A and B are shown apart, each in its own frame.
Chain A
Amino acid sequence: MSQGILLFAHDSEELRYGVMAIWMSERIAMHLNKPVSIVTDQFTLDNLKNLSVDPTKYFDKIIIKEFDVAQSRRLDGEYIPFKNLDRSDAYDLTPYDETLILDTDISISSDRLNLVWDNAEDVLISNDCIDLFGRKHNEFDFLKDHGIKFHWATEFYFRKSELAEEFFKKCKYIRDNYFWYSVLYGMPNYPVRNDHIWSIAIHELDYPFAKIPRNLRYSIASDNIQKLTEEQIVVCGLVDKKFRVTNIKNQDIHLMNKFELVILASIESEVLL
């Protein structure tokens, strides 16, 4: 049974997801020691080549998936295009029997995710999360007030199986009929969010899915990442309008400030932007 990690990275003019994927692959090699494949496009690969980076050195398999449509979302006060609609195709795209899908903005600093392999369950989902400063974000609990439970697409494990195939079939259906589902579940119809697709699929399949055994720690997009090294991350954030600072050692964390993360990841991976 082959095991590996699947990343999705599609650059925009503003954000270099390819650079984050390079950094992730190095962190994964260091802490998880599993092969990493990337789903990307020619634009991202060309950007990496222009930065004198050879992607074949970092990835087990490079899977090209071109996009006609880019969405946009507001980050740091600006509308930024992004391409994320291929996550639901992971079942067809993965080269592995057992796959762990990860976002490219997770700082891997421990081997804890290696617990998922060879699991008795075919699918492991992620829904427990904690803000780094203990702030409460209702959007990560439920899709809306009195709505269905929120689940993350940020980290997700599956084994090639009937259950996983059914799950991704459902995800693709929700993605392709997102407007209707947004009306049904009372959520915004734009941009299409993978977390919401995952949440609806998990809700509708009504299967007792097993969970990845941890709380996904996260820092929000407005937090400042002050320091990022293999050993330590220092993040500043506002809590009740007061500055707070915290230090994380040897723990994984989902860092949503992608603008700062790209810069710090490029420094760590020695990629000259």
Chain B
Amino acid sequence: MEDLDQALSFAHYQSTLTQQRKLILQKFQEATVMAYNGGLFKLSLEFIASIKSAQFDWLLDSNGTPIKITDYDTFIIEAETLYQKAIEEYGTEFSTLRLKRNVKSLVGL
């Protein structure tokens, strides 16, 4: 615990905040990958808008693998649900982080 106390007293607020922000952004980025029919799709607002407007039989997933979309309705619903859940969680964590005014609270101690 001596190391932790030392780290807490020397850790810079701004750099700790930056690091925590990066971590929750990475978490959001990971949470917005969707598995569908053997493919892995990176979700974004642009991607969701595009699958709603143009529906091809095949789509390339984030690895460049062509994946057959068998049911667009289910695909869109799953994508929207996953994206909404991830962005809500990110938004909540981001707002909470901004209210924390010292290193100790930033790292949840």
**B57, CB-defined interface residue at 8 Å:** no
Pick from A226, A245, A249: contact of B1, CB under 8 Å: A226
CB pair A242–B20 under 8 Å, yes or no, is no
**B6, CB-defined interface residue at 8 Å:** yes
User: For residue A130, which residue of chain B has the nearest CB?
Assistant: B26
CB pair B19–A244 under 8 Å, yes or no, is yes
CB pair B23–A213 under 8 Å, yes or no, is no
Interface hub of B8, B63, B106, B109 (most chain A Cβ within 10 A): B63
* Chain B window 4-39, contacts with chain A (Cβ cutoff 8 Å), 1 for yes, 0 for no: 101110111001100110110011011101010111
**A217, CB-defined interface residue at 8 Å:** yes
* Chain B window 54-89, contacts with chain A (Cβ cutoff 8 Å), 1 for yes, 0 for no: 000000011111010000000000000000000000
Q: Given A119-B38, A215-B26, are A245 and B4 also a contact pair (CB < 8 Å)? A: yes
Q: How far is the CB of B37 from chain A (nearest CB, A)?
A: 8
CB pair A247–B40 under 8 Å, yes or no, is no
B95-109 residues at the A interface, CB under 8 angstroms = 103, 106-109
Interface hub of A133, A213, A226, A247 (most chain B Cβ within 10 A): A213
CA distance A121 to B64 in the complex (A): 11
A218-273 residues at the B interface, CB under 8 angstroms = 224, 226-227, 232, 234, 236, 239, 242-251
Pick from B11, B23, B42: contact of A248, CB under 8 Å: B23
**A118, CB-defined interface residue at 8 Å:** yes
Q: Report the contact-size class of chain A (Cβ under 8 Å from the partner).
A: 35 or more
By a CB distance below 8 angstroms, the chain A residues around B1 are 226
Q: How far is the CB of A228 from chain B (nearest CB, A)?
A: 13
CB pair B39–A120 under 8 Å, yes or no, is yes
CA distance A247 to B108 in the complex (A): 7
Q: Given A115-B33, A133-B19, A247-B107, are A217 and B26 also a contact pair (CB < 8 Å)? A: yes
User: For residue A240, which residue of chain B has the nearest CB?
Assistant: B15
Interface size on B, residues (CB 8 A): 38
By a CB distance below 8 angstroms, the chain B residues around A133 are 19
CB pair B19–A249 under 8 Å, yes or no, is no
Pick from A115, A213, A217, A243: contact of B10, CB under 8 Å: A243
Q: Given A121-B63, A245-B107, are A213 and B42 also a contact pair (CB < 8 Å)? A: yes
CB pair B65–A246 under 8 Å, yes or no, is no
By a CB distance below 8 angstroms, the chain A residues around B107 are 234, 245-247
CA distance A239 to B7 in the complex (A): 11
**B46, CB-defined interface residue at 8 Å:** no
By a CB distance below 8 angstroms, the chain A residues around B39 are 119-120
Pick from B7, B20, B42: contact of A236, CB under 8 Å: B7
CA distance A119 to B38 in the complex (A): 4
Q: Given A119-B40, A234-B4, are A242 and B10 also a contact pair (CB < 8 Å)? A: yes
**A134, CB-defined interface residue at 8 Å:** yes
CB pair B108–A246 under 8 Å, yes or no, is no
Q: How far is the CB of B16 from chain A (nearest CB, A)?
A: 7
Q: How far is the CB of A135 from chain B (nearest CB, A)?
A: 11
- A residues engaging B (CB < 8 A)? 110, 112, 115, 117-121, 130, 132-134, 208, 210-211, 213-215, 217, 224, 226-227, 232, 234, 236, 239, 242-251
11 contacts between A and B (CB under 8 A): A117-B35, A120-B65, A121-B63, A211-B63, A215-B26, A217-B26, A226-B4, A236-B7, A243-B7, A245-B8, A251-B30
User: Can you name 6 extra interface pairs (CB under 8 A) apart from A247-B106, A251-B23?
Assistant: A213-B33, A213-B40, A213-B42, A213-B63, A236-B4, A245-B7
